[in-house]
């Protein structure tokens, strides 16, 4: 079982719609969760971090965390073509050195 | 402007050659990391350093070496022992040892001919 799992996509949504990206993780002791955006050929950039159960909103982005279900999601409202990218979920593992583990990413395509 | 600078952006190497990728940061971060990314895969940790003169192996350290002689610098050497070195290499830094909020350089794309 992979430690951080994401659907590879592509997830295709029309412009203006809500994009929903999902991530599950295997380490029940994890406490810190992150979403990175990576444009094709570029390096990742942090867009959201979440540490507590519930929702965290930042502009058009909302991160949702459910530790009991070991599930974290990212919602992008009013999706724009410029949101087309790969979104990487990352989780800090709980054992020893708190290693940041990345999922393989979900490719999002927003079409006009 | 604060940031992380990686060089070179593109590098071609013949089999059997060692190459060194540069990573410099002026963010005053203690922690620095090297990741490797292959197509369709997540980032895999090669080495990390939480403080000057100290570094630790990550998940895929075989065939790689690093040094951390200065806080600002964390170069990665890809040795001839690395069996499949063609990949996108990413350097990152963070303000603390256990942070997941990392800043990445632009990456170095290594191709072995």
Q: Write out pLDDT tens, residues B30-62.
A: 999 999 999 878 899 999 998 999 999 999 999
Residues of chain B contacting A105 with CB distance shorter than 8 Å: 42
Only one residue has tokens 């350097």, namely B91
Q: Is the pLDDT of residue B71 over 80?
A: yes
Residue A104: half-sphere exposure toward Cβ, Cα within 13 Å: 11
Strand, coil or helix: what is A82? Answer: helix
Strand, coil or helix: what is A65? Answer: strand
Radius of gyration of chain B (CA): 13
pLDDT band of residue A83 (cuts 50, 70, 90) is very high
Tell me, rounded to whole angstroms, the distance of Cα B12 from its chain centroid: 17
Chain A contact for B1 (CB, 8 A cutoff)? no
Among B43, B98, B101, select the one facing A46 at the smallest CB separation.
B101
Q: Is the pLDDT of residue A98 over 70?
A: no
Which residues have C-beta within 8 Å of that of residue B27, sequence separation ≥ 6?
B2, B3, B4, B93, B95, B103
Q: Is the pLDDT of residue B97 over 70?
A: no
- Using alpha carbons, select from A40, A39, A46 the residue that is nearest to residue A61: A46
Tell me if B98 and A92 make a contact (CB, 8 A cut-off). Answer: yes
> Could you give the percent of chain A with pLDDT greater than 90?
83
């Amino acid at each position: 079982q992979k430690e951080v799992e994401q659907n590879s996509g592509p997830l295709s949504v029309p412009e203006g719609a809500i994009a929903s990206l999902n991530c599950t993780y295997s380490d029940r002791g994890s406490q810190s969760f992150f979403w990175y955006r990576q444009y094709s050929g570029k390096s990742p950039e942090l867009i959201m971090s979440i540490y507590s159960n519930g929702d965290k909103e930042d502009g058009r982005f909302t991160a949702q965390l459910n530790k009991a279900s070991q599930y974290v999601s990212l919602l992008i409202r009013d999706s724009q073509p410029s949101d087309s990218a790969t979104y990487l979920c990352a989780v800090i593992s709980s054992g020893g050195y708190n290693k940041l583990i990345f999922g393989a990413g979900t490719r999002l395509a927003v079409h006009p | 402007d604060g940031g992380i600078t990686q060089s070179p952006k593109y590098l071609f190497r013949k089999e059997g050659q060692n190459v060194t990728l540069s990573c410099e940061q002026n963010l005053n971060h203690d922690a620095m990391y090297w990741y490797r990314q292959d197509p369709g895969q997540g980032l895999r940790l090669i080495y990390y350093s939480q403080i000057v003169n100290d570094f630790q192996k990550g998940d895929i350290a075989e065939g790689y070496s690093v040094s951390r002689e200065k806080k600002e610098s964390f170069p990665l050497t890809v040795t001839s022992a690395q069996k499949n070195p063609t990949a996108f290499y990413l350097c990152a830094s963070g303000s603390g040892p256990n942070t997941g909020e990392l800043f990445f350089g632009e990456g170095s794309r290594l191709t072995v001919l």
